[in-house]
Amino acid sequence: MYQALKAALKAMPSEALPEAVLSLVDQAETTEEEIDIEFIQQDVNELITDCREGTERIKKIVEDLKHFAHPGEDRMTETDINKGLESTLNVVYNEIKYKATVTKDLGDLPMVYGFPQQLNQVFMNILVNAAQAIEKSGEITIETELVDQMVEVRISDTGRGISPEHLPRIFDPFFTTKDVGKGTGLGMNIAYNIIKKHNGDIQVKSTKGKGTTFIIQLPADADPGEAGSPDPAMTASA
C-alpha cells in the first residue's frame, strides 16, 4: 500500500503537491536505496521460514531432552527402544553432524521393561564414541530388530576401529584408548553395567582401520520385577 501511495504521488504533477510531501517522497526513496528494500522484500520470507524451522527444531530438541532424561523416573517402565534411539540421536546431533552421515533401519519392536534414562545413556555413550572414532568423515548405522525374543540394537561406525589387544578390555572400568584428558574410561563400563542390570547383553566387534559395531540385546516383554532399583552411578556421563 505504501508503494502504491508513493507511485500515485510521483505520478501527480509536482506543482500539485506541497514541497514537504515531495521532500518526504525523496527521503523515502533515498532510504529504500540505503537499506536495499528490494533485497529485503525477497529475503524476508526465507528468513521467516528459517526462523520457523529453527523454532520447530528447538521444540523437538526440548521434547527429546525430556524423553532422554525422564526426570524422576525411579522405576521400570515399558520402554520404546526405537523412540529412545531417536531421542538420543537428536540430543547428540551436534557431536555427529560434522563427522558422519547416519543411516537408520529400525524394525518393528515390542516394548522393553527398563529404566529409559539409563538405556538412553548407553545409546549416547556409544553414539558419541562412534563419532569420535571417525577422524574426518564417515558413516554411523543404527539397526534394530527382534531376534529370538530379544530386542537387538546394532550401532556401527566406519571409524578407526579398536586394536585386537584392546577389545577384551573395552568394558573394563577406567580403560580408554583416548588421549590423556579426553576420556575417563567409564563410559563403556557404565554401559555394560546398565545392560547387565536389564538382564541383557552387550558385545563389540571391531576391525582396526575399518570400524566398530556394538551389539546390545535386551529381553522383550521381560517381567518388570526382574531388575532392581536404579543405581545413581549408572547415569554418570562418559
Task: Kindly report, residue by residue over 96-136, the tens digit of the pLDDT.
Answer: 988 899 999 999 999 999 999 899 999 999 999 999 999 88
Task: Kindly report, residue by residue over 18-60, the tens digit of the pLDDT.
Answer: 989 989 999 999 999 999 988 888 899 899 999 998 888 888 7
Domains of the chain: 2-35 (no CATH), 76-229 (3.30.565.10)
- Residue 17 has a pLDDT of 86
193: pLDDT strictly greater than 70: yes
The CA distance from 125 to 119, in Å, is: 10
- Residue 219 has a pLDDT of 93
- Residue 73 has a pLDDT of 55
Q: What is the mean pLDDT of the chain?
A: 84
Cα–Cα separations (whole angstroms), residue 203 to 14, 50, 80, 145, 193: 85, 42, 21, 16, 12
238: pLDDT strictly greater than 60: no
For the four alpha carbons of 171, 174, 177 and 181, in that order, the dihedral sign comes to positive
**Pairing between strand 138-147 and 201-207?**
unpaired
The CA distance from 183 to 226, in Å, is: 33
pTM confidence score: 0.64
- Residue 94 has a pLDDT of 85
67: pLDDT strictly greater than 70: no
> Torsions phi, psi of 143, nearest 5?
-130, 140
- Residue 56 has a pLDDT of 87
User: 166 or 84: whose pLDDT is higher?
Assistant: 84
- Residue 140 has a pLDDT of 96
Q: Dihedral, CA atoms, 27, 46, 61, 215, nearest 10 degrees?
A: -150
Report the interhelical angle of 37-69 vs 19-35 (nearest 10°). 50
Task: Give mean pLDDT, residues 144-148.
Answer: 94
The CA distance from 98 to 85, in Å, is: 19
The CA distance from 145 to 115, in Å, is: 20
